[in-house]
Amino acid sequence: MEDFYTAGMILNKMALFGVFDGHGGTGVAEFCARNFLSDTQARVLESEEGLHKGLHTSFLKMDECLRPLYEQHQSTAAALAGGREDEDEDEESPPCPGSTIVVAVVDYENQRVVVTNVDDSRAILSRNGRAVDLARPQEPEDAVERARIEAAGVETLPTRYISTLDKASTLGMWRSIGDFEFKMDAARSLQPEATGSHCSPRDHGGEAGRVRGVFAAHV
């Protein structure tokens, strides 16, 4: 189980729901689930940042906080490895873990839903009996995302997923939190996208989670 979630109130007038889908381990997803809500609450309460900007900043902050933890882990692993050859270390070390994220904030006062996501996590709203996408899955199969990746000079390949046993240096996620081992070019960088949608009496709830498989949280 590499998936985690968070839910809570902001200023008693907004409800935040977040789904964190980890890959290559649980560390990144669990860290974000523990810290994302409180970080966003602080930004909305203590600053003049709007909701869109506050959510965007919280995504970047999670990545920023995780990098030194990853670097410390790498240094410790290298020290324990002793005089082992680098190529042997690479063969035995698991890939850096990461997570895709989708966060939906229901703003009761302004009757809107604000969704921010990275990678292939998405949110869907049920409106008048029809499914309405609230977030664009950022995966290489998407024409807009593929164009962005290729514009950075990187070749796109069919989507693949990593596990702790996977030794390949490829990754199907291009904007995920964590995955520092793969963030060596402009194409692989954390770039959250935010969208807003007005709420109406025709809206009957929604779901947030991964684009593939069963969604993990209900709004």
Q: Indicate the class that CATH gives domain 3-218.
A: alpha beta
Torsion sign across C-alpha atoms 139, 144, 145, 149: positive
Q: What is the pLDDT of residues 190-199, one digit of tens each?
A: 677 777 777 7
Torsion sign across C-alpha atoms 67, 52, 217, 40: positive
Q: What is the pTM of this model?
A: 0.72
Q: What is the spatial distance between Cα 126 and Cα 112, in angstroms, rounded to a whole number?
A: 14
Q: What is the pLDDT of residues 140-185, one digit of tens each?
A: 666 666 666 666 666 666 555 444 444 344 545 557 788 887 766 5
Q: What is the spatial distance between Cα 73 and Cα 132, in angstroms, rounded to a whole number?
A: 41
Domain assignments of the chain as residue spans, ordered by start: 3-218
